[in-house]
Amino acid sequence: MGKRLKGFDVTVKDVSRAYGSFKALDDVSIEIRKGEFFSLLGPSGCGKTTLLRIIAGFDSPDNGVVLLDGKDILPLPPDKRQVNTVFQSYALFPHLSVYENVAFPLRLRKVPAAKLDAKVRDYLHLVQLDNHMDKKPSMLSGGQKQRVAIARALINEPSVLLLDEPLSALDAKLRQNLLVELDHLHDQIGITFIYVTHDQSEALSVSDRIAVMNQGKVLQIGTPYEIYESPATDFVARFIGETNLFPAVVKQCVPYEDYYMTTLDIPALGTEIKVTDYDNLAVGQHVSFTVRPEKLKITGHQPTRVGKDINLFRGIVEEPIYSGFQSKYYVSLENGTVIKVIQQHANYMDEGPDIDWKDQVFVSWSAEDGYIVEVVDS
């Protein structure tokens, strides 16, 4: 079906919303582009759902503006906004059949019968529910309910589709499948998707851009790659994926090729490490250092040749976790600090199981694989 609709851009500017003394949104500004798959990602209570409800019209901000295609939509009630929502619990009308649920918006607009019927069938086909149109929502599986909710939200041909944790009630496997379907649907229809989730892997896998939120503030906006590889704050680094994060002090910073080779003193590791950075940091500056577990190498024997930008540690495997495609090790370094290492089992004959509990191992990473997250003032 060659259905292609027009997406609008959404501008959220200086939006704040407090419930009593609790600041759900604290001066939030986000610019969402036309046709983008944009995710609001954060733990529960971070304000992402409040922001979605403000865009939908179910809540209003204490101050700030929300523009849809450049026009202020805050004075409009929910039914007058070119925005539709897929609710977390689907909110299907239990007294209506699948067909009537999807037809509901058209019946309100008194669309003529023949046109209505064609359109409802069209959208039911889009979400592959042609054979279930006579069923009541209670007779559907979670995935099917979800599809009804999507068809019902799209039939008004909105410019922006809001999705409030639409997959959270489904099991992991189905979630993956539906996520891919959602992504296809987004590519097919072309409207702006604003996707609220607390699941970082969901957000990383489908979004064009992500806003990471915590405690009512937007911490970082960027592509999944930017968010994962260059987190703006400690929180982002910890919340997205897994990481090893340590406070550190800059010891030395010298130009190296087109960036700077920085030496950090990390008390937790009991030693100095090397990391490359684009900024020339002042000596004595307090920063956070992070290195992703999958960027660490783990070996049972001491590497023979160690480059000058390699950080090498000796440790004991405290907890090996084998999960098929990879193994995760909690390695206790000599000074007691525990560091996480993930080893991919990319080849059949990989040496996976030969590192075992209580084995002595060597953990190493290149200076280029570490990352300085946040410059801590004071």
Partner 1 sequence: MNSHIQEKRGRRLGITYSAPMGLWLTFFFLVPLCIIILYSFLKKGLYGGVEWEFTLTAYRQMLNPNFMRVFLRTLWVAALSTVITITLALPCGYAMARSRHQVMWLALVIIPFWTNSLIRIYAWIAILSSEGFVNEALKALGVIGESLPLIYNQGAVITVLIYMYIPFAILPLFTTIDKFDFQLLEAARDLGASKPESIFKVMIPNIRSGIITAVIFTFIPIFGAYTVPLLVGGKDSYMIGNIIVDQVTKTRNWPLASAFSLVITVVSTIGVIWMMTSTASERARLKAPAQVVDANGGIT
Q: Answer yes or no: are the C-beta atoms of 215 and 206 closer than 8 Å.
A: no
- Shortest Å, Cβ 15 to partner 1: 19
- Shortest Å, Cβ 87 to partner 1: 6
The correct pick among 20, 77, 284, 324 for binding partner 1 (CB under 8 A) is 77
| Plot region of 185 (φ>0 → left; ψ -120 to 50 → alpha; else → beta) | alpha
Give the range of 34-42, 129-137, 271-279, 337-345 binding partner 1 by CB under 8 A: 129-137
Which residues, in sequence order, are CB contacts of 35 under 8 Å at separation 6+? 7, 190, 191, 192
Nearer to partner 1, 115 or 184 (CB): 115
Which residues, in sequence order, are CB contacts of 248 under 8 Å at separation 6+? 264, 265, 266, 267, 273, 286, 287, 288, 289, 372
Q: Is 265 in the site for partner 1 (CB under 8 A)?
A: no
Distance (Å, whole) CA 82 – CA 76? 10
Q: Is 113 in the site for partner 1 (CB under 8 A)?
A: yes
Nearer to partner 1, 58 or 322 (CB): 58
Show the binding pattern over residues 24-63: x = contacts partner 1 (CB under 8 A), - = does not.
--------------------------------xxx-----
Give the range of 43-51, 130-138, 177-185, 267-275 binding partner 1 by CB under 8 A: 130-138
Helix (H) or strand (E) holding 63: strand 63-68
Exposure string of 153-183, with b = 16+ CB inside 10 Å and e = fewer, is bbbeebbbbbbbbbbeebeeeebeebbebbe
Q: Is 108 in the site for partner 1 (CB under 8 A)?
A: yes
By CB under 8 A, how many residues form the interface with partner 1?
Answer: 38
Which residues, in sequence order, are CB contacts of 368 under 8 Å at separation 6+? 276, 309
The correct pick among 67, 74, 76, 96 for binding partner 1 (CB under 8 A) is 96
| Plot region of 91 (φ>0 → left; ψ -120 to 50 → alpha; else → beta) | left
Helix (H) or strand (E) holding 338: strand 338-344
Nearer to partner 1, 67 or 91 (CB): 91
The correct pick among 29, 69, 104, 359 for binding partner 1 (CB under 8 A) is 104
Closest CA to 161 of 85, 230, 219: 85
Q: Is 136 in the site for partner 1 (CB under 8 A)?
A: yes
**Considering Cα of 105, then 110, then 112, then 114, what sign does the dihedral take?**
positive
Q: Is 282 in the site for partner 1 (CB under 8 A)?
A: no
Nearer to partner 1, 90 or 289 (CB): 90
Q: Answer yes or no: are the C-beta atoms of 275 and 262 closer than 8 Å.
A: yes
Nearer to partner 1, 19 or 58 (CB): 58
Q: Is 157 in the site for partner 1 (CB under 8 A)?
A: no
Q: Is 281 in the site for partner 1 (CB under 8 A)?
A: no
Distance of CA 143 to the CA centre of its chain: 21
- Shortest Å, Cβ 125 to partner 1: 15
The correct pick among 76, 91, 310, 333 for binding partner 1 (CB under 8 A) is 91
Q: Is 84 in the site for partner 1 (CB under 8 A)?
A: yes
Helix (H) or strand (E) holding 142: helix 142-154
Nearer to partner 1, 153 or 373 (CB): 153
Distance (Å, whole) CA 59 – CA 56? 8
Q: Is 355 in the site for partner 1 (CB under 8 A)?
A: no
- Residues lying near partner 1 in the complex (CB under 8 A): 56-58, 77-79, 83-85, 87, 89, 91-97, 99-100, 103-105, 107-110, 112-114, 116-117, 133-134, 136, 152-153, 156
